[in-house]
Structure 1
Amino acid sequence: MSIGLRDAVTVITGAGSGIGRATAHAFARRGARVVVTDLDADRARTVAGELDGRGVAAPCDVTDLDALRAVRDLALDRFGRVDLVMNNVGILAVGPVEDIPLDAWQRVIDVNLLGVVRSNLVFLPVLLEQGSGHVINTASTAGLLPYGFDRLPYTATKHAVVGLSESLALYLRPRGIGVSCLCPAGVATNIVEQITFYGEPAAPQGPSFSVVDPDAVGELVADGVDEDRFLILTAPEAAEELRELGADVDQYLTRPRKGAA
């Protein structure tokens, strides 16, 4: 079912920096054309300009359905099709659970979860009509494992993105559309720009995963598309944690914890 990246038309949200930028480069190196979108239009233009003529930039706020429609229309007008959509935008509210206000929860849900929902409403009809394509949703190991109580709105939305992606895979794969869920652990990005802090810092308890470079993540994502793989991990050891969680949830939740993830 793999669409192959050579000459594929790809759309990446949040591609002005970090994982999105690295994935745009990885896709372009494999021959894809990339619609680089970001809330920061200047960053999007900069990244598109780095792609040796294979990129086009568009500003995009994933909380705005019309902005996503404009990105879709740009891709169709410029390239005549859309083959792959990567939903990559994420923000965090960090602090003790009792100190994070409702409006912070609403903002994180609006961006991290409903941003994917809006993208599906805009792009899935295009992919379904042509009977081919690929969707990548960026979640997190915090969406697989129960350690992120210091960033609970983010954790809740990333668990939701994992579940949404699993069900989408069951629905879309028989229709010729691949689905991947990227679950990064530590990645050296500028995501701190997207964090709002509340109250006194909490002390998370969870597995310690190594921090990897965004360029390595971009290559992992490109490999995952080429191999039509659902789960894409940046820390292979997270798979063992996931097996332990599935084997005995109560034991996993009550076992002694080491440092933060």
Structure 2
Amino acid sequence: MSIDLHDAVAVVTGAGSGIGRATAHAFARRGTRVVVTDRDAERAQAVAGELAGLPGPGGGSVAATCDVTDADDLRAVRDLALDRFGRVDLVMNNVGILAVGPVEDIPLEAWQHVIDVNLLSVVRSNLVFLPLLLEQGSGHVVNTASTAGLLPYGFDRLPYTATKHAVVGLSEALALYLRPRGIGVSCLCPAGVATNIVEQITRYGEPAPPQGPAFPVVSAESVGELVADSVSEDRFLILTAQQAAIELRDLGADVDHYLTRLIKDTP
């Protein structure tokens, strides 16, 4: 079920910076032609320009402006990929934003915006791209979630945490549905990654102290390589910190005990 990244065609959202940019590079180095999408047209063009200097098929990558809250933008990206390359083999849904602050201070409008960007963007992408993958009977989907979508520590960013838990559940169910139909599914759950995610944070009220395991911070480039390797190997869960796997096992073994331990450790 794994796909050959050489000469494949990938669509990556939020590819103008951070994990999206690094993964676009990792795909292109393996010979994948990437449709680099971002809401910021200049960033998308800059990354596509970087890829253009690579040898092989990856140098044929293109840029597209895309707001993932707009289904018409996603359809335009699909049509660009089909017009330019004739197919789509891989879709990475990578856009995410945060609303940070005490739970009682984050307004409903912020919740609605985070849900629209972090969760409903994946739904829109599925509606646009899955018919193509199902028709050809092959392909791969990567959804970017977070360790905050696996573990119960993100109360200081609760809309983000809730949507990332939803993306994990959506991805697990998609794997059950799509893998028998020849389409791989991966769920990327990064912990600390050195990116410009701070640009996507809206803050409310007095800052809540962060809570949770102390995961190491890794480079976006290492995450991009990890994603590309995981797609090639058809792995579902992609973790950037192996300690997260231990935490996840502890949580599954005894939820009450795990929550009690976290509460005792809360300042």
CA-CA distance at 1:55 after TM superposition: 1.4
| Runs of at least 5 residues in structure 2 that lack an aligned partner in the other structure | 54-58
In the alignment, what sits opposite 2:21? 21
CA-CA distance at 1:204 after TM superposition: 2.4
- Structure 2 distance, partners of 1:64, 1:259, is 39
Q: Please tell me whether residue 69 in structure 1 is matched to residue 81 in structure 2.
A: no
Q: Please tell me whether residue 134 in structure 1 is matched to residue 136 in structure 2.
A: no
Structure 2 counterparts to residues 70-109 of structure 1, below 5 A: 70-109=76-115
In the alignment, what sits opposite 1:145? 151
Deviations 1:8-66, CA, capped at 9 Å, x for gaps: 00000000000000000000000100000000000000000101223100000000000
CA-CA distance at 1:258 after TM superposition: 4.8
- Structure 2 distance, partners of 1:123, 1:94, is 31
CA-CA distance at 1:143 after TM superposition: 0.1
1:27 is aligned with what amino acid?
F
Q: Please tell me whether residue 39 in structure 1 is matched to residue 45 in structure 2.
A: no
Q: Please tell me whether residue 122 in structure 1 is matched to residue 128 in structure 2.
A: yes
- Structure 1 distance, partners of 2:226, 2:141, is 15
Aligned equivalent of 2:211, options 205, 212, 218:
205
In the alignment, what sits opposite 2:174? 168
Instruction: Using the aligned pairs only, state the percent identity.
Output: 84
Deviations 1:126-161, CA, capped at 9 Å, x for gaps: 000000000000000000000000000000000000
Q: Report the RMSD for the aligned CA atoms in angstroms.
A: 1.0
2:64 is aligned with what amino acid?
A
- Structure 2 distance, partners of 1:132, 1:68, is 20
| Runs of at least 5 residues in structure 1 that lack an aligned partner in the other structure | none
CA-CA distance at 1:4 after TM superposition: 1.5
CA-CA distance at 1:203 after TM superposition: 1.1
Query: 4+ runs of 1 displaced by more than 2 Å?
Result: 256-260
In the alignment, what sits opposite 2:160? 154
1:176 is aligned with what amino acid?
G
* Count of paired positions: 260
- Structure 2 distance, partners of 1:180, 1:32, is 17
Q: Normalising to structure 2: TM-score of the pair?
A: 0.96
In the alignment, what sits opposite 1:249? 255
Assess, with a 3 A threshold, how the Cα gap between structure 1 residues 259 and 208 changes in structure 2: closer, same or farther.
farther
The question of whether the paired residues in 2 share the 8 Å contact of 1:207 and 1:258 is answered with no
- Structure 2 distance, partners of 1:208, 1:109, is 26
- Structure 1 distance, partners of 2:39, 2:23, is 17
